[in-house]
Structure 1
Amino acid sequence: MTPERFAECLVSLRWTTIELTSALQCQLSWVEAMESGHAEIPEDLARWLDGLARCHETAAVPTSYRGLTG
């Protein structure tokens, strides 16, 4: 996984690096290093993030409720 795709996944999931750090229970500096390309993203983490992001990208946010009042 490239650092660019890593960042795209976080955007799709609406997660900050701090939220990912909390989910992984790891050091923020390591997550920031992966995001910047200074640390390799482990294969299992890449698959997990990509899978979650693809689900969010495919499902999208519903919009039928917009414009409803009450």
Structure 2
Amino acid sequence: MTQENDKNALVYLLAGFGLGALIGAVAGILFAPKAGSETRGELGDKIKDLKGKTEEWIAEQRAKRHANGATEEVGA
């Protein structure tokens, strides 16, 4: 059970870093001296990028969890 807690702690740590990076990126874009339409366009692009990366990461985590579950079933 300790190993599962370690995995959960790592996931929360990585999620925290990701959220911090997202907040920093948004703040940087919003405070940059650019035209509003240009800023909104960049922000939209960054959000689409982040959405794609998040979906990839979630798919990877699900695949890993599925693979680990299958390994445990075979090993048990």
Q: Which has the higher helix share?
A: 2
TM-score by length of 2: 0.35
Which structure has more relative contact order (CA 8 Å, sep 6+)? It is 1
Whichever of the two has the greater Rg, that structure is 2
